[in-house]
Chains A and B, each alone.
Chain A
Amino acid sequence: MKYMLFGGIMVILLLAISVIIFFVVYQKRLLAQQIRLQSVQQEYQRELLTSSIAAQEKERVRIGHDLHDEIGSSLSTAKLLVNQLHHTDPEKEQIVASVKEILSHTIQNLKNISLNLYPSVLTKFGLVEGLQYLVSVLSQASPLNFSLDAEEISGLELQQELALYRIVQELVNNAIKHSGAGDVNIALTQTESYIQLSVRDNGCGFDTQDPGKGGIGLKSIEARKEMLKADMQIQSVPGEGTCIIIRLPLL
């Protein structure tokens, strides 16, 4: 009887200990599962985002490309043909001149629109060249001073370069529209572990705590930032300027 009792107590003791051990192991396993599930979900979300952005880009590229080449070509042809019209009648000559002007303007507009949609230089020559072209076009089109400090970038795929380019476009647009700045500087650098893009202006700045900066523009930057798995840092001093830094980690 004695041994039965002690044996019984031992059994209960061991049982209790094994319950604890089992519990710990089980909890850890459940936790690991949950973490894995979360990361899979996150991955999925990101893939969804990536593919929707890619689809959007494809559309834009297609439209921009067609606009630029097809319609642009036709308009140029029309202009050429119109140029061959010579009328002695001054009235008709006036009309021809007007047509020529309209065509010229339209072609120019087309260039601008299609540049926004389809960065052909980026597609064929890479991000840095694309940004250089953007800067040169912007310098001509607007009274602001645009400058670019960029080194050659390697290791990015087209979709990533395109995403960065779109972010720059958006940020520059913001600077032009809202900041009233005189100088805008874009800088692109690459280290072993990350690629850094910064857009700096000396405009009126804004209060970083103010959540008012919403709108679709910032959302599209958010979406691309998510897709790139990049961080964004906003530094702004009201009255002095704004600097926005995007950092993209490399694998």
Chain B
Amino acid sequence: MIPIRLAIVDDHKLFRQGIINLLKTYPHFDLIIEAESCPQLLEALAVQQPDIILMDIEMPEIDGMQGCKQILQLYPQMKIIALSMHTADNFIFHMMKLGARSYLHKDIDQDSLREAIEEVAAKGFYFTEKIAEAMLRGVQSRSIQKPYMNGNTLTPREKEVLTFICKGMTNSEIAAKLFISIRTVEGHRQHLLDKTGTTNSVSLAVFAIKTGLLSADEVGGHF
């Protein structure tokens, strides 16, 4: 039997090791990549690709949702199983929407985990009742709120938001301009602050000028 090649990415060392130990007990599972974060995983993926990636959703900097998106862009055939402490429908639905093949609760027991991995390897997906419920709700719901996700280097969207922030626009104005929710704008703003290591709009503006994103007179009169 061909061993199923697995990768795991989770920022919790204890949990990671727990899963690894678990998987070791199965001879047909071959763990080839162990990563602490998505960037690390991406590096490892450049060298060799597994069949299935077990991905944690809540990770600092780049979270599971963003990571899932990025990886599937680079490796569209990749099968990703999401792992999370979250059980809410919204999380499940969104991960599935982003391209995950299954969604498992971290509180899972051994057998279910094995079954899930085997099913995904064989059939390409593994739905539990919970997943089915969440999918049903998500599909039937009228309006889906897009979640705000963590990301790494300035995404194009973030660059846009940065421009508007430097022009002195408020969150509501930016949201209206870009047709996104205020929540998303706040998320972007916070990320801009985190990524640039600044603490307020003024330093953001300075950063923008320094990195050549905006010229000084574009920023000029607003501060």
| A contact set with B: CB distance below 8 Å | 65, 68-70, 72-74, 76-81, 83-84, 104, 107, 111, 120-121, 124-126, 128-129, 132-133, 136, 152, 154-158, 161
When distances are taken between beta carbons in the complex, the residues of chain B under 8 Å from A76 are 15, 18, 85, 106-108
Alpha-carbon distance A79/B15, docked complex (angstroms): 10
Find out whether the CB atom of A83 lies under 8 angstroms from the CB atom of B145: no
Pick 21 A–B contacts, CB within 8 A, sort by A.
Answer: A69-B12, A69-B58, A69-B85, A72-B85, A76-B15, A78-B18, A79-B107, A80-B22, A80-B108, A84-B25, A107-B107, A120-B88, A121-B86, A121-B91, A124-B90, A125-B94, A125-B147, A126-B181, A128-B145, A132-B89, A155-B182
Query: Which of A80, A129, A155, A156 has a CB less than 8 Å from the CB of B18?
Result: A80
When distances are taken between beta carbons in the complex, the residues of chain A under 8 Å from B109 are 79-80, 83
Q: Which interface residue of A73, A84, A154 has the most chain B CB atoms within 10 A?
A: A73
Dominant secondary structure of chain A at its interface with chain B: helix
When distances are taken between beta carbons in the complex, the residues of chain A under 8 Å from B19 are 77, 80
Taking the complex as formed, is B183 at the interface, i.e. its CB lies under 8 A from any CB of chain A? Answer: yes
When distances are taken between beta carbons in the complex, the residues of chain B under 8 Å from A81 are 18, 21-22
- Closest CB of chain B to A121's CB: distance in Å? 5
When distances are taken between beta carbons in the complex, the residues of chain B under 8 Å from A157 are 171, 182-183, 186
Find out whether the CB atom of A84 lies under 8 angstroms from the CB atom of B148: no
Query: Which of A79, A80, A121, A155 has a CB less than 8 Å from the CB of B172?
Result: A155
Find out whether the CB atom of B182 lies under 8 angstroms from the CB atom of A129: no
When distances are taken between beta carbons in the complex, the residues of chain A under 8 Å from B10 are 73
When distances are taken between beta carbons in the complex, the residues of chain A under 8 Å from B172 are 155
Taking the complex as formed, is B143 at the interface, i.e. its CB lies under 8 A from any CB of chain A? Answer: yes
Task: Across the interface, name the chain B residue whose C-beta is closest to A81.
Answer: B18
Taking the complex as formed, is B110 at the interface, i.e. its CB lies under 8 A from any CB of chain A? Answer: yes
- Closest CB of chain A to B12's CB: distance in Å? 4
8 A Cβ contacts from B19-44 to A: 19, 21-22, 25
Find out whether the CB atom of B15 lies under 8 angstroms from the CB atom of A73: yes
When distances are taken between beta carbons in the complex, the residues of chain A under 8 Å from B91 are 121, 124
Alpha-carbon distance A155/B171, docked complex (angstroms): 10
- Closest CB of chain B to A192's CB: distance in Å? 15
1/0 per residue, CB under 8 A from A, across B70-90: the answer is 000000000000000111111
Find out whether the CB atom of B14 lies under 8 angstroms from the CB atom of A74: yes
- Closest CB of chain B to A158's CB: distance in Å? 5
Find out whether the CB atom of A124 lies under 8 angstroms from the CB atom of B186: no
Find out whether the CB atom of A152 lies under 8 angstroms from the CB atom of B106: no
When distances are taken between beta carbons in the complex, the residues of chain B under 8 Å from A65 are 58
Find out whether the CB atom of B186 lies under 8 angstroms from the CB atom of A74: no
- Closest CB of chain B to A60's CB: distance in Å? 17
